[in-house]
Amino acid sequence: MASSQGKNELLFADWMAALPGSLHSTPLTNLAIPGSHDSFSFYIDEASPVGPEQPETVQNFVSVFGTVAKKLMRKWLATQTMNFTSQLGAGIRYFDLRISTKPRDPDNELYFAHGLFSAKVKEGLEEINAFLTEHPKEVVFLDFNHFYGMQKCHHEKLVQMLKDTYGNKMCPAIFAHEVTLQYLWEKEHQVLVFYHSPVAVEVAFLWPGQMMPAPWANTTDTEKLIQFLQASITERRKKGSFFISQVVLTPKASTVVKGVASGLRETITER
């Protein structure tokens, strides 16, 4: 069993390299590529302040109940259990990334954030790069789709961080239908960076956010989610871009209130 499991893990870690030759020249827009939601949320720092994107009601809740409130929040904020390396080893190739500055942070660092703060962005990018170096035929999509508390200087810092970490591994923005595994392998590119900010038009290796649309069903009903996905996938295929099918259920405020002590996994995920 151990040997068989090891072979499966190896296959998932290099599944792009193992695809049949007939798919090497197929546009990646035509392939179903697995991704994760709030990809960094395997780690939520309960000692951190509340993220700047949170409404006043959440801010007040934490100011009153402190650490207890943050522990309850974590149960609803953590959408992943595996770190970046484990996700990559399991075959994940698309990462949903939300970036924030941290209030009163003396180092002026950039962090992943989802309600509370996660790890430093630099650490996460380096972890992904280490995997790519070991698996030169694997390709990842980094989707920077939400920015909180960021000014021009912070975007410049993030762009430089991407340059320093990935260098020539990043594929410049071109027509989506031109991106195939064969093209990327020949150019030795392994990273496509999608950047949902006007900054993208100023930097060659940043793909504009509209090239990776992600319609959101925003429902707790599985049937409504399936109907939404079926209706949207046909329409999005016509646009000549990459696109995301968000196969996720989203808890409402009432859902959280009813299951405040249980959490996302018990209330939503198992459904």
Q: Between 3.20.20.70, 3.40.50.1110, 3.30.413.10, 3.20.20.190, what CATH number should domain 2-210 receive? A: 3.20.20.190
Tokens of 85: 């390396």
Taking phi over 0 as left and psi of -120 to 50 as alpha, with beta for the rest, 116 belongs to beta
Say how many residues make up the chain: 271
Domain ranges, ordered by start, for the chain: 2-210, 212-270
pLDDT of residue 9: 59
pTM beyond 0.75, yes or no = yes
Active site amino acids: 37, 114
Which pLDDT tens digit goes with each residue over 236-255? Answer: 766 778 999 999 988 877 77
Which pLDDT tens digit goes with each residue over 60-93? Answer: 777 766 787 788 888 888 999 999 999 999 999 9
Which pLDDT tens digit goes with each residue over 195-211? Answer: 999 999 999 999 999 99
> How far apart are the C-alpha atoms of 120 and 105, rounded to whole Å?
12
Tokens of 195: 């950047």
- Start-to-end CA distance of the chain, whole Å, equals 30
User: Percentage of residues in the chain with pLDDT exceeding 70?
Assistant: 92
Task: Name the 3-class secondary structure at 28.
Answer: helix
